[in-house]
Structure formats: structure tokens, C-alpha cells
Structure 1
Amino acid sequence: MIIRVLLAAAIAAPCVGCASVTRGTTENISISSTPAGATAEITGLEIPTTCVTPCVVQAKRNADITVTVNKEGYEPQIIPLTKEIPGTGAAGFAGNVLLGGLVGMGVDAATGAAMDHKPNPVIVTLQPVAPQARRPRPPRRTPPPQS
């Protein structure tokens, strides 16, 4: 019985340090805008998604994501998200050296489990569309006086 428990612990130990196990392969990305009620188009997801701000989308940690925020009367904003390794992701990834070895490191690298998207939350302040410059009107032609 003791041998079975030790064997099960030895088999499970490599996965304990994996960032993919401790952090997961997806994350929630919050998107908000001032003014609220803008349309956010998110590309880089398995299925391109559109939502109305404020909203939250779920994304794979290894996805290359761009958020485009539009609202009538405002300039569109395009925000490319970067991927960074935060302290918790680095700790999970480093745990592979002690417990998961190359297999755990490979899984984390492939899934991006050690990564987080930045900025998160995505906060956008939309700027009103600049009024078009008025063009001077051509002078009015007045008909010549009739005699």
C-alpha cells in the first residue's frame, strides 16, 4: 500500500510545478472604455469576438491579440496586447526545472501558460472625432444688373 502511494506521488510530482497546471492555459481579459457602450473587436482568438464595453473575453495565454474599440463620433483605438511573464508565471515555469523537467517546460512553452497579456485590463479613453475644417465658400455670383 505504501509503495502505491509513493508511486502515485512520484507520477503526479512532475505536474505540480507546471505553470499550465497552476495557472491554466487561458485568462480573462477585461475591456472598458470612456464613454462606455463602444464596440470592441478582438482578433487573435480562436473565433474573432465582438463585445460592447465594458466586457470580458477569455483568451488563450499564447494568443497574439489586438483589441479595436469603435464608437460613433469617436476616433477608433487599436490596442495590440503584448505577452509577458509575470512573477507567478516565472515561478510555475521554474518549478519545471525541479519537478517537471523538459516535458513540463515544453508544455508550458507550447501553451503559453507562463504568459499574461498586457495591458489587462484594457482601458480606452475615446477621443471625439475632430470637426472637419470648414472650407471657405466660393463667392456668390450675382447676376449683372438688367437694364
Structure 2
Amino acid sequence: MRTILIVGFLALNCAGCASATRGWTEQITITSTPAGAEATVTGPEVPTTCVTPCVVQVKRNDDVSVAFSKEGYEPQVITLTKEVASGGAAGFAGNILVGGLVGMAVDGASGAAYDHKPNPVIVTLKPVAPPPAPPSIMRRRTPKPPTS
């Protein structure tokens, strides 16, 4: 019986509350106007590319940016920030009761208390400006011969 209690206590101590309740990954929704842009998500070990609208999964502790490209439109890059979410803060604080220092370390290393902002990532792409028109060529007028 004593062994079961010790194993149970260690299991609770090793599981960070935010890690257990929120997980180490998060889904990011990506949309663009117009739809159909290529979105390249950097930050994860392997960059992910999708066509908008789409959803990608990233680790909560990743530094994430999304680069948009579509023919006829200017490219755009959105850098996401990491913020402590209210649910993440509560889970992290729960470590005081259950997870202890080990749980806090797990939550801190995994980023389980964080959410990426903005989420969803929404952009409006700007059309590429048309190239300037070539300068008009003014014809020289030849003077009319004087009339007599």
C-alpha cells in the first residue's frame, strides 16, 4: 500500500498541471483575404506550408511566424507572440498544490501555460501595384511652312 501511495505521489509530482490540462501543443487557425494564399509557418522543427484557410499544430513554446504569399499580392509576415493564458496560469499555479517544483519546471520548459497571439491569424493581402506606365513619347511637330 505504501508503494502505491509513493508511486501515485511521484506521478502527480512529475505531471505539471498546465501540461496535463492544456497539453504541449496548440492549433493555430490561419485565414487570408483573398483565400488561397500559401502560408508558411516557421518556428516548429520543420516549417509547415498550407493553403488558406487552414489549421496547423505547433508547440506552445515555439517562436512562430507565418509568411503569406499569393501571386498578384504583396507578401506579408505575421510574427506571433506567446502570452500566459488564463487557463495556463491557473494550471501553472495548480502546481503549488499538486505538481510542486517538478511540475512548475515541466510547465515552464514545455510552454504549457502559453497561448500564441493572435490566434486566429487573419490577414488581408494587398494587391501588387501595377508597374508605372512608360512615359509617353511626345511627337515633335514640324513647323508648317509659311503660307504666302
2:64 corresponding residue in structure 1? 65
Go from structure 1 to structure 2 and tell me whether the alpha carbon gap of 1:73 and 1:115 turns closer, same or farther (over 3 Å shift).
same
Q: Deviations over 1:51-100 (max 9, x none)?
A: 10111111000001110111111111110000001100000111112221
Normalised to the residue count of structure 2, the TM-score between the two structures is 0.85
Could you tell which deviates more after superposition, 77-86 or 128-137?
128-137
SS of residue in 2 equivalent to 1:92: helix
1:98 corresponding residue in structure 2? 97
Partners of 2:100 and 2:140 in 1: CA distance = 86
1:108 corresponding residue in structure 2? 107
2:44 corresponding residue in structure 1? 45
Normalised to the residue count of structure 1, the TM-score between the two structures is 0.85
Residue 28, structure 1, aligned to residue 27, structure 2: yes
**1:5: how far off?**
5.7
Give % identity: 65
Partners of 1:30 and 1:107 in 2: CA distance = 26
CA RMSD for the aligned pairs? 2.2
Check conservation: 2:16, 2:104, Cα contact below 8 A. Answer: no
Partners of 2:108 and 2:53 in 1: CA distance = 31
Partners of 1:39 and 1:84 in 2: CA distance = 26
Check conservation: 1:15, 1:99, Cα contact below 8 A. Answer: no
Partners of 1:26 and 1:142 in 2: CA distance = 73
Partners of 2:48 and 2:73 in 1: CA distance = 21
Partners of 2:15 and 2:39 in 1: CA distance = 37
Q: Deviations over 1:7-66 (max 9, x none)?
A: 454334335652111111011111111111100011111101111011111100000111
Partners of 2:139 and 2:103 in 1: CA distance = 79
Check conservation: 1:15, 1:21, Cα contact below 8 A. Answer: no
How many residues align? The count is 144
**Can you give the 5+ residue segments of structure 1 that lack an aligned partner in the other structure?**
none
**Can you give the 5+ residue segments of structure 2 that lack an aligned partner in the other structure?**
143-148
